[in-house]
Structure 1
Amino acid sequence: METPLHPASGLRKARWTDQDLDAMYWDRCQVHALAVTDDEGPPDDLSPEEFAEWDDIDPTAPSAVELHFDLDYIVGRVEHGQWRSVDFWVAPATLTFSSVWDVNGGFRSLCRRMDLDRPVMTREPGKHDSWHLRGSELELSFTAVGWGLVVRRPPVLGRRRLRMAERGGISFDRTPFG
């Protein structure tokens, strides 16, 4: 059995992939920000012929688009006594889906707190993974080639949501702590 990276919270590691999804704890993680990024396109110094070849992209090929979520990943919960008060082990994390396409869905409100339930992955033989994200103010489905979650700071015990000072502000950094 592996030694936890953060023994107090039980966090086993700071970098998770789609192979770990079933082993991860998910409990309505607060989303602080999201971003959609793409590659920077073709180099500036291409000849017209090279540019034409670069621009001839197969529409069925995976894209270079990435979908990033800056969230408070809830590592676990601690229930106290008969009154069942609850504290949470929470850490700032970056959730990234790579090579994203065929995005459907939307947001109910961008003015209210947004949280994220456990991502649901559907894997069919010979096809790329389909994802479904649902939360209090969002519902998205899409196809992606890769997935990962990086915990950026050690978990802290307390409220379900971290304050900006506790989490180091908004970040899509993919460098794990530890």
Structure 2
Amino acid sequence: MTTDAHPESGLRKATLTDQDLVETSWDHCRVHALAVTDDEGPPEDPTLDYREDDDLDPTAPSALQLRLDLDYIVRRVDPGPMRDIRFWVAPATLIFHSVWDIVGGLHSVCLPFELKNLRQEAPSQSGEPCWHLEGRNLDLRFQASSYTLYLRQPPRYGPRVLRMAERGGIGFDPKPFA
């Protein structure tokens, strides 16, 4: 028997993966920040001679990650006619692993980004998954081995966009609340 991570909102688990794609809705999720990161970094042993240009191996998997800080809408609550629609929303970190071949556009830096859909497209010639992340003011296509969505706080009931103070500012922390 599994227990829900947040029964009041209907959230079953605080960490979702590409295996949950069919059950996951991305519509109207506000993106507060995005980053492409390389978590490999220099070797921890200070005695090793480290040169970045020596570290390039075209056959090695990419160490790049595409990270998005977003307000993930767990559930939409429609109270009926003439009432405001409310949402269960949680600040979340979406991380695509082993990313490469990013193409597309960010169409505005003045207006907020908002997700509309994330879908997996036909695999590349190498057999790796291809992803299409689309929304208002963004349209990105890329290859990535997988993704993980971490809900960093329990969902809150209210409007679909959280205030910075409520969500703890911008964050890319890969730690779920439960």
- The answer to whether TM tops 0.5 is yes
Give the C-alpha shift of residue 97 in structure 1: 0.5
Structure 2: runs of 5 or more not aligned? none
Whole-angstrom CA distance in 1 between matches of 2:161 and 2:141: 25
Aligned to 2:57: 57
CA RMSD between the two structures: 2.3
What TM-score do the two structures reach when normalised by structure 1? Answer: 0.88
Alpha carbons of structure 1 residues 55 and 121: separation in structure 2 relative to 1, 3 Å: same
**Mean Cα deviation higher: 29-38 or 118-127:** 118-127
Contact 1:35 1:69 (8 Å CA) reproduced: yes
Aligned to 1:20: 20
Whole-angstrom CA distance in 2 between matches of 1:21 and 1:53: 37
Q: Does 1:86 align with 2:85?
A: yes
Aligned to 2:108: 109
Give the C-alpha shift of residue 119 in structure 1: 1.0
Give the C-alpha shift of residue 162 in structure 1: 0.1
Whole-angstrom CA distance in 2 between matches of 1:53 and 1:25: 41
SS of the residue aligned with 1:134? Answer: strand
What TM-score do the two structures reach when normalised by structure 2? Answer: 0.88
Aligned to 2:34: 34
Structure 1: runs of 5 or more not aligned? none
Whole-angstrom CA distance in 1 between matches of 2:86 and 2:14: 21
SS of the residue aligned with 1:109? Answer: coil
Contact 1:62 1:101 (8 Å CA) reproduced: no
Q: Does 1:138 align with 2:138?
A: yes
Instruction: Tell me the matched-pair count.
Output: 175
Whole-angstrom CA distance in 2 between matches of 1:3 and 1:116: 29
Contact 1:93 1:151 (8 Å CA) reproduced: yes
Alpha carbons of structure 1 residues 114 and 51: separation in structure 2 relative to 1, 3 Å: closer
Aligned to 2:172: 172
- What do residues 91-132 of structure 1 show as CA deviations (whole Å, max 9, x unaligned)? 000000011001101110111111112211125396111000
Identity of aligned residues (%): 51
Q: Which amino acid aligns with 1:4?
A: D
Whole-angstrom CA distance in 1 between matches of 2:148 and 2:122: 16
